[in-house]
Amino acid sequence: MEISPYEDNRAWPAIDSDGKFSFSTRLKKFYILARPRKDYAITFFGPYKFAPGQTVTDLTLKLKRGFTSSVKFLDQNGRPIPNVQLTGGFPEPPDYSSWRHTIKSESDEQGVAAIQHTTDSPANLTCEAPGYIKDSRHKIDLSPDKPYTWQLNPAPTTQITVLSKKTGQPIPDAAVLLYGDEYQQMGNYYIDRPKWTTNETGLFELKTLAPGEQYRVLLYHPDYQRRYVDITAGDKVTAKLNDFQSITGKLQVI
């Protein structure tokens, strides 16, 4: 089993054979997430409120039995969709909404994604597969007896080509950060760890955008000025990035 103070980025504390553990945290109020490895459910405990410097020695976490559930992905013709990425979490603790990293799975050739350590609480889920609109559903009741059926709708291909405004040459490895329905990738964190980048011809294709929705794209490359571009699904956009301007000066001592 693994446990972690929820919203604390520290490492998961070790648990000995007797189920005992210890850790320190910077949080004044926190929950504990237990992520079992056997037949128990993913569970939140808390909230716990402690004064700075206080030591607590009598925490007991009681686990609940879990089960394996599944989600079956189908296209509009009822055919299974393999390789669908499924993420999500269970909507607890209530004042933190769903933790998105407690569920991770991928559908097999029959379109079925298994979810281990399922609880009796409803789940919030997001799915993504190239060629289909990225989708989310909330408060889904999962069952060990039959899979939850989820139909995905096809998405048009959206193309973004990134070029140098000065030379007209393609810019490979430019980060493509997206903000809009189902996407929130703006910020320095995503610039340093981009999910998407352009290829050697400066092209990137998006195959999960919903028709009619407006999206904003941030194009970033360390050798060029960043640029924002507004797009809709199915667009074919060429964006040109400016070089950085060189500024020279002279410092004089007065």
Indicate whether 147 and 72 sit together in one domain.
yes
Tokens (6 digits) for 50: 């402690």
* CB distance 44 to 92 below 8 Å: yes
Q: Is a pLDDT exceeding 50 seen at residue 129?
A: yes
For 165-224, the pLDDT digits (tens) are: 999 999 999 999 988 655 555 555 455 567 889 999 999 999 999 988 888 999 999 999
pLDDT value, residue 31:
75
Indicate whether 142 and 192 sit together in one domain.
no
User: What CATH number did the domain enclosing 211 receive?
Assistant: 2.60.40.1120
Residue 182 placed within a domain: yes
Last residue of one domain, picked from the residues 97, 130, 151: 151
In whole numbers, what is the pLDDT of the chain averaged over residues?
A: 84
For 64-84, the pLDDT digits (tens) are: 888 999 999 999 999 999 999
Tokens (6 digits) for 112: 């079925």
Residues of the domain holding 189? 158-241
Last residue of one domain, picked from the residues 130, 151, 172: 151
Alpha carbons 185 and 197: distance in angstroms, whole number:
13
- Angle 38-44-50 (CA atoms, 0-180°, nearest 5)? 130
Residue 105 placed within a domain: yes
Indicate whether 73 and 140 sit together in one domain.
yes
Number of domains in the chain: 3
Residue 250 placed within a domain: no
Indicate whether 173 and 146 sit together in one domain.
no
Note the residue count of the chain: 254
Indicate whether 210 and 136 sit together in one domain.
no
Percentage of the chain lying above the pLDDT 70 cut: 85
What are the angstrom distances between the C-alpha of 214 and each of 50, 180, 181, 209?
45, 7, 8, 9
Indicate whether 41 and 13 sit together in one domain.
yes
pLDDT value, residue 8:
52
pLDDT value, residue 3:
55
Indicate whether 136 and 174 sit together in one domain.
no
Residue 137 placed within a domain: yes
Q: Is a pLDDT exceeding 90 seen at residue 128?
A: yes
The DSSP code sequence of 28-63 is SEEEEEEE-SSSB--EEEEEEE--TT----------
Please give the torsion angle defined by the CA atoms of residues 21, 22, 25 and 28, in that order, rounded to the nearest 10 degrees: 80
Residue 58 placed within a domain: no
Residue 224 placed within a domain: yes
Residue with tokens 């700075």, as numbered in its chain: 52
Indicate whether 166 and 206 sit together in one domain.
yes
pLDDT value, residue 4:
55
pLDDT value, residue 63:
83
Residue 93 placed within a domain: yes
pLDDT value, residue 91:
64
Indicate whether 93 and 117 sit together in one domain.
yes
pLDDT value, residue 189:
45
Residue 249 placed within a domain: no
For the chain, where are the E strands, in sequence order?
2-5, 29-35, 43-49, 67-74, 85-89, 103-106, 112-118, 123-128, 135-140, 148-151, 158-164, 175-180, 183-184, 203-206, 214-220, 227-232, 236-241
Which candidate, 251, 253, 249, 210, places its Cα nearest to that of 233? 210
Alpha carbons 218 and 226: distance in angstroms, whole number:
7
Indicate whether 137 and 73 sit together in one domain.
yes
For 143-165, the pLDDT digits (tens) are: 999 999 999 999 999 999 999 99
pLDDT value, residue 171:
98
- Segment 37-51 mean pLDDT: 77
**Lowest mean pLDDT, pick from 13-27, 80-94, 156-170:** 13-27
Last residue of one domain, picked from the residues 151, 175, 206: 151
Indicate whether 222 and 168 sit together in one domain.
yes
Confidence of residue 12 (pLDDT cuts 50, 70, 90): low
